[in-house]
Amino acid sequence: MEKTVTLQDSGAIDTQTLDINIGPQHPSTHGVFRMNMKLDGETVVSLKPVMGYLHRNHEQIAENMFYLGSMPYTDRLDYFNSMTNNFVYALTVEKLAQIEVPERADYIRVIMSELTRLVNHVSVTGFLLNDLGAFFTPVLYAFRERERILDIFEEVSGARMMCNYFRFGGVKYDLSGEALVAIKDVVSRFPKFLDEYEKLLTKNEILCMRCQNVGILSPELAISASITGPMLRASGVNYDIRKVDNYSIYDRFKFRVPLGKVGDVYDRYYVRILEMRESLKILEQALKEIPAGEIMAKKMAPFVKAPRNFKPPLGESYARVEAPKGELGIYIVSDGTPQPWRYHVRAPSFINLTILEDLCVGHKVADAVVILGSVDIVLGEVDR
């Protein structure tokens, strides 16, 4: 934790505002992100987030790359859930080029994105506890379940985190028999783990003391700052893109959207736990109804072997997906050539981060770190 401290020394004991910046090294495990804080004693007076340390020029590269070439780059956007990033890129291009996705591919896509939602929410609650000071135990319980799901991703797509599994018009490999069995096994074991996880955390007095009524986000501020995802739903606003857009085949599944009431750190934590239970419901239904059939649209067959001469028609398209962190969208303008003319990613973490100051002012230093943990950002997506 790099500390550059400038002490405004005004002599009198009580007016000493301390200018700290919780530096880019490790503001408690959230990547390279700096918070410039002015402290009066323990309470935060002002907070300026400083980002851009992990900017890799993803959008410019995508404009000089074939369409399929930037699919592996989308894995690196929010490196915690690469499947949902691929999903949104595939959806945008399919909307652009009017490609019909076969049934089985759609089911596989839904299963994969719900599995990433489990991985993300379980790790985020773990890291939140880590910011609170629990010495890595919740994180390691979360990682035990995450390992099982990452093994499935490896078996299905070839890589644990950088899956590069979706293709325009379907998916790259088919879901083999024992992969399906492994997924059923994970999904059946997850609720038992979740109950134990909740027994460890939800009623824990210290967690309640540290999280309740801390960093309260009012629904009006959330809507005006276009916050999306669990943060928005924790403040009580009912907006889940799976229900609003009904993209892909989400309308076939019966699931509910949990909403909080107060909108503080505790609500954000608990809404994520409830969302995990809903995802499990979707997974069970999807695993039951998955049909046989081929996994790649007929229209895209010639481009499987020659991705470079895939030229979507002229035009623009924007598709969005309920990523675990919020509304993740990709906007593409194509000029008929195999390279997109304009490529832009709407990153939920970046937008959820803009209100960090309003949440943190007035709280203590310890709370600022916890609020940052509850906002759940991944720097790959914030800086792109």
Partner 1 sequence: MDQLFVGIKTALLSMLGTFMPDWLVTVHSVLISATGIAIFGPLTMMYLTLIERKVVARMQNRLGPNRVGKFGLLQPVADGIKMLTKEDIVPYKADKLLHLLAPITIVVPALMVFAVLPFGRGMIAADLNVGILYFLAVSSTTTISIFIAGWGSHNKFALLGAMRAVAQMVSYEVPMVLSLVPALMIAGSLSTGAIVAAQAERWFAFTPWGFVAFIIFYLCGVAEVNRSPFDLAEAESEIVAGFHTEYSGMKFALFYMAEFMNTFTISALAATIFLGGWHGPFLPSWFWFLLKTYILIFVMIWFRGTLPRLRIDQLMGLAWKFLLPMALVNVVVAGFWYMSSGVIRTFGSIACLVVAFMVLTALNRPYVPEKREYTFAEN
Partner 2 sequence: MIIPLEHILMFSTLLFAIGVYGTLVRRNLIGILISIELILNAVNVNLVAFSRTTALSPDTGQIFTFFVIALAAAAAAVGLAIVLALYRTSRTIFTD
Partner 3 sequence: MTELTFIAQLGIYAMMFVVLAAAVAAVTLRNLFHCALALAGVLIGVAGMYLAMHAEFLAMVQILIYVGAVMTLIIFAIMLTQRLGAGDVAQNNKQSLFGAVAAAGFVVTLGGILWKTPWPVKEEAVTSSFSASDLGESLMTTYVLPFEIIAIVLFAVLIGAIVVARKDAPKGAEQ
Summarize as ranges the residues that interact with partner 1 (CB under 8 A).
1, 3, 5, 7, 18, 28, 42, 129-137, 140-141, 144, 200, 203-210, 212, 238, 240, 243, 256-262, 266-267, 270-271, 274, 364-367, 369
Q: Closest separation between CB of residue 13 and partner 2, Å?
A: 6
The pairs formed by 208-213 with CB atoms below 8 angstroms and a separation of 24 or more are: 208/266, 210/132, 210/265, 210/366, 210/367, 210/370, 211/132, 211/264, 211/265, 211/266, 211/269, 211/370, 211/374, 212/262, 212/264, 212/265, 212/266, 213/262, 213/264
> Of the candidates 63, 20, 82, 121, which has an alpha carbon nearest to the alpha carbon of residue 364?
20
Q: Which is nearer to partner 2, 11 or 177 (CB)?
A: 11
Residue the block writes with tokens 């890129």: 89
Please, are residues 183 and 115 in contact by the beta-carbon 8 Å criterion?
A: yes
Is residue 13 near partner 3 by the rule CB under 8 A?
Answer: yes
The alpha carbon dihedral of 324, 162, 76, 142 has a sign of positive
Between 11 and 177, CB nearer to partner 3: 11
3-class DSSP assignment, residue 298: helix
**Binding letters toward partner 2, positions 13-52, x by CB under 8 A:** x---------------------------------------
Q: How far is CA 303 from CA 199, 311, 323, in A?
A: 51, 10, 28
Which of 12/292 has CB closer to partner 2?
12
Give least dist CB 13 to partner 3, A: 6
DSSP class per residue in 309-376:
G--PPSEEEEEEEEETTEEEEEEEEE-SSSSEEEEEEE-HHHHHHTTHHHHHTTSBHHHHHHHHHHH-
Q: Which is nearer to partner 1, 192 or 305 (CB)?
A: 192
CB of 164 to partner 1, least distance (A): 30
Q: What is the DSSP letter of 299?
A: G
CA distance 119 to 73: 20
CA–centroid distance for 177 within its chain? 29
Q: Residue 19 Cβ, how far from partner 3 at the closest point, in Å? A: 15
- Decide: is 291 part of the binding site for partner 2 (CB under 8 A): no
Nearer to partner 1, 158 or 362 (CB): 362
Which residues of 137-188 form beta strands (DSSP E)?
166-167, 170-171
Nearest residue to 289 (alpha-carbon basis) of 252, 243, 245: 252
Is 9 a binder of partner 2 (CB under 8 A)?
A: no
Query: Which of 14/205 has CB closer to partner 3?
Result: 14
- Closer residue to partner 1, CB minimum distance, 37 or 96: 37
CB closer to partner 3, 16 vs 28: 16
Residue type for position 306 = A
Is 9 one of the binding residues for partner 3 (CB under 8 A)? Answer: yes
How near is the Cβ of 7 to partner 3 at its closest, in Å? 8
Q: Which stretch, 10-18, 63-71, 259-267, 316-324, contacts partner 2 (CB under 8 A)?
A: 10-18
Q: Which residues contact 164 (CB under 8 A, 6 or more apart)?
A: 71, 72, 75, 82, 86, 157, 158, 172
Q: 365 is in the binding site of which of partner 2, partner 3, partner 1, none (Cβ under 5 to 8 A by kind)?
A: partner 1
Residue 15 Cβ, how far from partner 2 at the closest point, in Å?
A: 11
Would you say 194 or 297 has its CB closer to partner 1? 194
For partner 3, the binding residue among 3, 4, 14, 254 (CB under 8 A) is 14
9 binds, among partner 2, partner 3, partner 1, none (CB under 5 to 8 A by kind): partner 3
Q: Which of 3, 12, 135, 291 binds partner 2 (CB under 8 A)?
A: 12
Closest distance between partner 2 and the C-beta of residue 14, in Å?
A: 8
Residue 334 to residue 341: CA distance in whole angstroms? 5
Cα–Cα distance, 178 to 12 (Å, whole number) = 71
Residue ranges in contact with partner 3 by CB under 8 A: 9, 12-14
Residue ranges in contact with partner 2 by CB under 8 A: 11-13
